[in-house]
Structure 1
């Protein structure tokens, strides 16, 4: 139904406009009595075998929606209706910001992919914390945090600390995002010394709370093996709880979309099908090289239950979808969860 009728209509319009239209439609329709229950009946899978405990948190199921979809924590109840086991909000910055100029979101239909250069557009940590304070859902919530675009890299650590303090009471885990290609000089933010310093300080701050929250690092798919070794070393030295692999890629290799169109689109992070194999490689490398020393959340190019199972088999403990959810529709979550149930039998 979605791929045959709804998606072709939605794909006629600007991707960002469709995103906001869809958000409003889902939000408004849930106010109709019975709609939420109907969605849960259609899309949710409730099975004890799906439950997963990781870094002290019990996840209803191992399929989440990645950061960037619900940046501002506006659709938490509704995403639970669609069967997700957890939602990662953000990327959240200390101050609200509009992000990069439009257009900044592009579909690559032939490649089942998206290029975005959104630039961390969000309502800011204080507003989002207020929203989370009043949330009704008991769904597991991750807080993906980053720096404001205007913040110099020399002052970036203060931005991460501010976000951490603002959101600590309201999220179940944190994700330190230093790998988004849409926010200036990410090379500095991915520097080993900077990361060790930042993550160690966040870990120390976390220990001052009575209920410390897990801290994960989100990494780029474009890191070479030597840099992945450095990631393992950073995690070991800082003592953080895990990794999200991977963010979007800046590469444009082996795409069916024409070079002319790619040039017209310009810069941005590529997500979707072209990322499937690379993100799986990164997951497997980290898991094998570290001897599975830390949990991994796998994300990147999951468009089917098979793609998700590959991530789990490679060493991921949980998976997240985003672009696949847009191309395949809401039944993707149910298909993945059913495949996991069948494997667990």
Structure 2
């Protein structure tokens, strides 16, 4: 009940102010009032045991500042970030917009974060014992031809502190970032990161799986190329998908909101994200690890993801709108069906 009223109060505030207050609350003692039981429905993937298959997507807690409270929401795993080597302010405000009539959010945050060194310290001192992913990116001022330097820098700093690393090359809010998904730039970037992963594994005696987060705005041919390269170079999984720059003609919110630049998440993303998931599963084969995210607002949305071949799912906008009740609903449905995949 307290969690419900707190969420409704935050939803009455400007979007980014509400988000910042939620992070502060979850990072402190107030988080005790929103705790929820973690339902056990374990999934083994990439050599990791996930207590249940419902995780928090990157972008909610960029800096690892709220691990204390997020660990009590019932998630099977958390993903923090996107983090970059140097702190950066992100894009100009306002940059976060609610589309309440569509159960959606538009954001153009632009990788605003406190830098990898801050995140490392937060994780070290958090006491968090659950499954953790860290999402890494490049600084806005780093040219694409030097992007690999930023990714391997973050990987080296973070990989011993987490269970897996996510390579974010699909955010629409950093200029030219998505160009790293194309052709030789993609191959060169992934090859450099893979080399660093293997080198760190030898030095630190810890192999940290790496997954690649992709855009829902790629066509089938582009996806086939990307999936093949991800597999051939030896990456460990794929996250489908980031936000979309498309604006479906089914949106009901005010035109001024719909026309805001940035990535669209929430319910209107579901169909496009699901199509990408379907294609990626076909290209990747039956057993390649896939995390699904995008448009999950209720347990039926989650069911669709699993039916299309997801091994794990992540929520963000759904968590903002529905709170930890959504996590409970999805896991209860899975438990009643006694399966994680069809």
Q: TM-score interval w.r.t. the shorter chain?
A: over 0.9
Contact 1:90 1:144 in 2 (8 A): yes
Q: Deviations over 1:7-32 (max 9, x none)?
A: 443222211101111222233334xx
> Secondary structure of the residue that 2:106 maps to in structure 1?
strand
Q: What is the aligned length? A: 334
Instruction: Name the residue aligned to 2:318.
Output: 324
From 47, 60, 65, the counterpart of 2:56: 65
Contact 1:65 1:87 in 2 (8 A): yes
Once the two structures are TM-superposed, the CA of residue 280 in structure 1 deviates from its matched residue by 1.4
- Alignment map for 1:220-259 (pairs within 5 Å): 220-254=215-249, 255-259=251-255
Contact 2:26 2:70 in 1 (8 A): no
From 76, 79, 93, the counterpart of 1:85: 76
TM-score, length-scaled by structure 2? 0.93
Q: Is 1:138 equivalent to 2:133 in the alignment?
A: no
CA separation of 1:132 and 1:260: change in aligned 2, threshold 3 A:
closer
From 169, 174, 177, the counterpart of 1:178: 169
Once the two structures are TM-superposed, the CA of residue 77 in structure 1 deviates from its matched residue by 2.5
Once the two structures are TM-superposed, the CA of residue 289 in structure 1 deviates from its matched residue by 2.9
Contact 1:161 1:202 in 2 (8 A): yes
TM-score, length-scaled by structure 1? 0.92
From 298, 306, 317, the counterpart of 2:292: 298
Tell me the distance in 2 between the aligned counterparts of 1:7 and 1:134: 27
Contact 1:178 1:186 in 2 (8 A): yes
Contact 2:278 2:309 in 1 (8 A): yes
Q: Is 1:116 equivalent to 2:107 in the alignment?
A: yes
Instruction: Name the residue aligned to 1:343.
Output: 337
Once the two structures are TM-superposed, the CA of residue 155 in structure 1 deviates from its matched residue by 1.0
Instruction: Name the residue aligned to 2:38.
Output: 45
Once the two structures are TM-superposed, the CA of residue 196 in structure 1 deviates from its matched residue by 1.6
Tell me the distance in 2 between the aligned counterparts of 1:103 and 1:260: 13
Contact 1:3 1:328 in 2 (8 A): no
Tell me the distance in 2 between the aligned counterparts of 1:2 and 1:15: 20
**Structure 2 spans left out of the alignment, 5+ residues:** none
Contact 2:56 2:316 in 1 (8 A): yes
Contact 2:24 2:66 in 1 (8 A): no
Contact 2:27 2:68 in 1 (8 A): no
Tell me the distance in 2 between the aligned counterparts of 1:170 and 1:5: 35
From 99, 117, 141, the counterpart of 2:90: 99
From 124, 127, 142, the counterpart of 2:118: 127
> Secondary structure of the residue that 2:49 maps to in structure 1?
strand
Once the two structures are TM-superposed, the CA of residue 6 in structure 1 deviates from its matched residue by 4.5
Contact 1:113 1:273 in 2 (8 A): yes
Once the two structures are TM-superposed, the CA of residue 314 in structure 1 deviates from its matched residue by 0.6
> Secondary structure of the residue that 1:236 maps to in structure 2?
helix
Instruction: Name the residue aligned to 2:9.
Output: 9
Once the two structures are TM-superposed, the CA of residue 257 in structure 1 deviates from its matched residue by 1.8
**Structure 1 spans left out of the alignment, 5+ residues:** none
Once the two structures are TM-superposed, the CA of residue 166 in structure 1 deviates from its matched residue by 0.9
Instruction: Name the residue aligned to 1:275.
Output: 269
Instruction: Name the residue aligned to 1:18.
Output: 18
Tell me the distance in 1 between the aligned counterparts of 2:34 and 2:322: 17
